[in-house]
Amino acid sequence: MIPSAARQRLVDTVGPKGFLDKPEDLRLYEYDGGVDKARPELVLFPKSAQEVSSIVQIAAANKIPLLGRGAGTGLSGGAVATSGGLVVSFARMKRILEVDYDNERAVVEPGVVNLDITAAVQGDGYFFAPDPSSQRACTIGGNVAENAGGPHTLAYGVTVNHVLGLELVMPDGRIIQTGAGGFDSPGYDLPGLFTGSEGTLGLVTKVTVRLMRKPEAVKTLLAIYDTEDDCGLTVSEITARGITPAALEMLDGTLMRMVEEATHAGYPLDAAGVLLIELEGLTEAVEEQAEKIKAACRACRARDVREAKTAAERDLLWKGRKNAFGAVGRVSPFYYVHDGVVPRTQIAPTLREIGSISKRRGLTISNIFHAGDGNLHPLILFDARKPGDMQAAQNAGFDILEHCIKVGGSITGEHGIGVEKLALMDKQFRQEALEMMRKIKHMCDASGLMNPGKLLPARKGCAEITQPPVHKPEDLI
């Protein structure tokens, strides 16, 4: 419970139109794109780093838990106030402060929408590379918190590869600057430490991002298969031939049919799976790579390899991929999006294992993922109104992630740990590694008020059992 005096100071900091505290308003901030829910006591909308600093100082003095929030598009419960307290929304801090083409960088506030950076610079031949599927809505602050990726991660890397510097408010209210604004800086890689820390170490108030020049040529291919195995084998074959596409995405037949019915993007309804492949670079190099990729696809029994002839055709294919999650919503009242990583050579066996899990748990599981780097996004369809269905979906998700660990992969590629995957952290990491993470957390946030209950599991007693969290159906409606 926030003390009344502290509440008044917080409200005074942001002004009469800078907060929400009515139950009907707070309900809009009790969830993100995942399945967990928890209601905060107060939502604040600061307009500057100084206001954020004041908020954090008041919270620290009164032992009030708090967390930062961008657009709420996260998928692991990272922006859910599981301990109540404050939500600091960056919706008002949405300015592009500086664009520096000479040094190929821009300085932005955390509330800037991802795609708005590209929109601001594309007329001058530049773009911002990280492109999550939610890039029309998600914000840079959230991207930094979760170290977001996207389809073009294969060639360009994830968010951390495009962050040159950060301004942060630490848990005691200090404002610090990290990074030197260049592609490399002396000392410990502090921007790298804070990127992906899920808001547990500080609140980002300014980001210096890397801008990239638009490629001379772009070519998009659609390879069509009669078996999922052949899709998976093609990914390894392309890598073995020394080719790195800008993007290499896979959709299985189940998901592809849902997408096609919703978007009419041109995907074949009778295929078992497709690979959406994009090449970028110099015109000659792209043409040469396209022929090599077509050969690799045919060597792995692709029945057809189509090439988008126009920008409109290319955009339509990507519209299908980017709107896939929405397409699923037309078919199932509820679905659970998961996020794991396996080595490329394990893609085909993992798809078979997911099929086995689907049968064992009695649920439909469709697959869409960044095949080039083995980042899986199985979508588990269920009905929360049916007793036991939600728990079955949770269990299926954990089965998939445990398999990812078993074959040398990871429990997240870009969605983060949040609260969703806490129970698996001690399976992913040895206790020595977890203790080192806890020491870093304690060094930055000794009081444990900054996004508590996320990313790091609590130390377990001898009687504790690791298991998925149980959700009630009414929590998801």
* pLDDT tens figures, 218-254: 999 999 999 999 999 999 999 999 999 999 999 999 9
**What secondary structure, in 3-state letters, does 88-144 show?**
EECCCCCCEEEEECCCCEEEECCCCEHHHHHHHHHHHCEECCCCCCCCCCCEHHHHH
pLDDT tens-digit readout, 260-290: 999 999 999 999 999 999 999 999 999 999 9
DSSP letter, residue 469: P
Q: Each residue of 189-214: pLDDT tens digit?
A: 999 999 999 999 999 999 999 999 99
CATH fold for domain 332-476: Alpha-Beta Plaits (3.30.70)
Can you tell me the distance from the alpha carbon of 456 to that of 436, in angstroms, rounded to the nearest whole number?
11
Residue 60 near residue 9, CB atoms below 8 Å: no
Between strands 42-44 and 86-89, the pairing is: parallel
Which of 161-175, 189-203, 219-233, 459-473 shows the lowest mean pLDDT across its residues? Answer: 459-473
Six token digits for residue 451 = 């996004």
Architecture per CATH, domain 217-327, reads as 2-Layer Sandwich (3.30)
* Candidate from 113-117, 182-186, 288-292, 308-312 with smallest mean pLDDT: 182-186
Q: 338-374 pLDDT, tens per residue?
A: 999 999 999 999 999 999 999 999 999 999 999 999 9
- With residue 201 as reference, give the H or E element that holds it: none
CATH 3.30.70.2740 intervals, the chain: 332-476
pLDDT digit string (tens) for 298-346? 999 999 999 999 999 999 999 999 888 888 888 898 999 999 999 999 9
Of 414 and 466, more confident:
414
Q: For residues 104-130, b (16+ Cβ closer than 10 Å) or e, as one string?
A: bbbbbbbbbbbbbbbebbeeeebbbbb
Radius of gyration of the chain (CA): 22
**Residue 459, CA distances (Å) to 80, 292, 462 in order:** 21, 51, 10
Distance of CA 335 to the CA centre of its chain: 17
Handedness of CA 307, 309, 315, 316 (dihedral sign): negative
Q: Where in the chain is the domain with CATH 3.30.465.10?
A: 96-213
Could you give the residue range(s) of every CATH 3.30.70.2190 domain in the chain? 217-327
Is the per-residue pLDDT at 462 higher than 50?
no
C-alpha–C-alpha distance, residues 109 and 90, integer Å:
8
Outline which parts of the chain fall under CATH 3.30.43.10: 4-89
The CATH number of 4-89 is: 3.30.43.10
Residues 96-213, CATH architecture: 2-Layer Sandwich (3.30)
